[in-house]
Amino acid sequence: MAREETIRYHESYYSSHKLFEEGWLQKPDEEVNRLVSFLSGRSNLKVLDIGCGVGRNAIPIARELKLNGVHVDCYDVLESAIELLHGYAEQFDVQGSIFGRCIDMDAIEIEPDSYDAILSVSVLEHSSSLQGVNRLLEQIVRGTKVGGANRLTISTDRHVTACDTGEVIDTRVETPMSKEQVTEMLQRYYEGWLVDRLSLVPYKEDLEYGGRLVTWSCVDVSFFARRVV
């Protein structure tokens, strides 16, 4: 049920909003600049974007690091997102750096010590289970080279109520998690890393959801860390 809802929402959103023009696709994740600066002195870079969508983050990374030589693996469960990603990669002249693949994050296997950077922005909560989230975090940590970096955001404590009646509405996220739970997991998996950011970003907005006006609130756990050993 939650999986179908995630697919329905993103298919509809990507087909009705253009990259870098509208809604949350208007601009890249706020830590993309930090990631690019961090990688900019190096060459022959390998980057992995898990749950890349249509390339909101992968395309700016590829554009900024193109002259360094960069290979960006882009994974998403939606075939339509990967098709759009390849179209945008051509439009922004980075088709030689973007490698899209349709795959479920629960099935991803990452070769150890293989990426200079791995990012996953607003995706892990869509894993099918807590076990899946743990498995993927383990893969991400192991898959990052010494000297590499990770950028993650994870949506937690989601709460949605109807504006007219105050009724609580089920938003059907696959793996609902609390900010405390995610903070604890990150501290555990990233022991020994240099954590540049582990912050809680509250979000609240009145928006239309399932044909109703609702108040949507959640807390995004925002994380950036570098592997030093």
Ligand X SMILES: C[S@@+](CC[C@H](N)C(=O)[O-])C[C@H]1O[C@@H](n2cnc3c(N)ncnc32)[C@H](O)[C@@H]1O
Residues in touch with ligand X (CB under 6 A) = 6, 10, 29, 51-53, 56-57, 76-78, 81, 104-106, 121-123, 126
Token reading at 207? 């928006």
CB of 106 to ligand X, least distance (A): 6
Q: Which residues pair with 200 in a beta bridge?
A: 221
CB of 74 to ligand X, least distance (A): 9
CB of 183 to ligand X, least distance (A): 20
Query: Do residues 89 and 62 lie in contact, with contact meaning Cβ atoms separated by under 8 Å?
Result: yes
Q: With respect to ligand X, which residue has the nearer C-beta, 6 or 156?
A: 6
87-114 burial code (b ≥16 CB/10 A, e <16): ebbeebebeebbbbeeeebbebebeeee
Which of 137, 144, 84 is CA-nearest to residue 106? 137
CB of 75 to ligand X, least distance (A): 6
Q: With respect to ligand X, which residue has the nearer C-beta, 78 or 118?
A: 78
Q: With respect to ligand X, which residue has the nearer C-beta, 42 or 172?
A: 172
* Rounded-to-integer distance, Cα 153 and Cα 156, Å: 10
Q: With respect to ligand X, which residue has the nearer C-beta, 126 or 179?
A: 126
